[in-house]
Amino acid sequence: MGKLDKVLQKAKIHDLTDVTEEKDSEAKNGDSLDLDKDESNHSDNRSKLEDNDLRRGPVDFRVVVYHKPESLPAEHFKVLRGVLMQPNNGRVIKSVLVTSALEQEGKTMVSCNLAVSIAQSIDPYVLLIDADVRRPNVHAMLGLKRSAGLTDYLLSGKPLSNFLVKGIMDKMTVLQAGSPVRNPAELMTSERMQGLLHEARNRYADRFIIIDSPPVNLTAETLTLAKHVDAIILVVRYGVSDKNAVSDAVNKLGKNNIFGIVFNGFEVTPRKYTYYKKKYYTTVY
């Protein structure tokens, strides 16, 4: 039995028929890219992204790295950040795809927390891409007004800088999903999309790319996107995820291609924090 099989056996994964639907949703070839870094690198303390500051609402409470950066849940995302930035095998990881088997498993929450955690570190910058164009939620989770984004860039031929918006941290940039389209699978698997991922990854040595992708079992585009990233994170919701669906997702992505699994909603009372008992997120590699 492989390591990934043992990890999945530890998760309390239900059959789909036993799952009660949750009421709350998951925080409901071309031109050269312009990925100018944030204002911290400019002597005039101005950023080209200032005009694209779309913060309009509160950041979702589930972005724990933002609200409570010293908390135990936030610490687990910092651990994940550290493993991605300095993996034991020496591989260079610059782009990460976050996905799940089905909906409502917390992939957008993980994507946002991971991106914020990277932006909080000393050196790296981060670009968070909402590639779930069918059901985008990154903007809602970050409290951003929905705007033009990925689909508009892919269809318009305009510079990427026209569609980038400021994130909720100084070194964080967001590319929202953009306008609804009738052919998301074709658009997400286009050469222009592949070119975006390639150049965004290689343009700067200190920039990480986090991609919130659609559930792998529900759309065709996730498997194509997975071929153009350095690492894949699979999100599994403890006590909710369907066992067969998770197994199917692992088989589709390939066990050797999955960098890690994040168990979402696993309840633990650590010995050193007996007073701190709540739902939080644990990371398994």
pLDDT tens-digit readout, 8-51: 665 555 544 333 333 333 333 344 455 554 433 433 333 444 45
Task: Specify the number of domains making up the chain.
Answer: 1
d(CA 165, CA 51): 8
Give start and end residues of each alpha helix (H) in 2-130.
3-10, 64-67, 72-85, 107-120
Mean pLDDT of 145-157: 94
Q: Give a yes or no: residue 21 inside a domain.
A: no
**How many angstroms from the chain centroid is the CA of residue 136?**
12
What pLDDT shows up at residue 47?
A: 42
3-state secondary structure of 164: strand
Q: Yes or no: say if 126 and 96 are a contact pair by the CB < 8 Å rule.
A: no
Q: Give a yes or no: residue 223 inside a domain.
A: yes
Q: What percent of the chain is modeled with pLDDT above 70?
A: 74
CATH (domain of 214): 3.40.50.300
Question: Within 10 Å of residue 154's Cβ, how many Cβ atoms?
Answer: 20
**How many angstroms from the chain centroid is the CA of residue 84?**
13
Q: Give a yes or no: residue 203 inside a domain.
A: yes
Q: What percent of the chain is modeled with pLDDT above 90?
A: 59
pTM of this prediction?
0.80
Which residues are within 8 A (CB) of 208 and not within 5 positions of it... i.e. 6 or more apart?
A: 84, 85, 94, 95, 96, 115, 118, 124, 125, 126, 127
Q: Give a yes or no: residue 253 inside a domain.
A: yes
Determine the structural domain holding residue 56 and report its residue range: 3-16+26-284
Q: Give a yes or no: residue 140 inside a domain.
A: yes
pLDDT confidence of 53, banded at 50, 70, 90?
low
What pLDDT shows up at residue 33?
A: 55
N-to-C CA span, the chain: 15
Pair type for strands 278-284 and 258-268: antiparallel
Q: Give a yes or no: residue 163 inside a domain.
A: yes
pLDDT confidence of 6, banded at 50, 70, 90?
low
Q: Give a yes or no: residue 39 inside a domain.
A: yes
Beta bridge partners of 283: 262
Q: Give a yes or no: residue 270 inside a domain.
A: yes
Q: Which tokens belong to 79?
A: 């651990």
Closest Cα partner for 146 from 160, 169, 161, 130? Answer: 130
d(CA 49, CA 209): 17
Give start and end residues of each alpha helix (H) in 55-208.
64-67, 72-85, 107-120, 138-141, 150-156, 184-188, 191-203
pLDDT confidence of 272, banded at 50, 70, 90?
very low
Buried residues in 55-68 as b, exposed as e (16+ CB within 10 A): eeeebbebbbbbee
Question: What dihedral do alpha carbons 74, 79, 84, 87 form, nearest 10°?
Answer: 180
- Average pLDDT, whole number, for the chain? 81
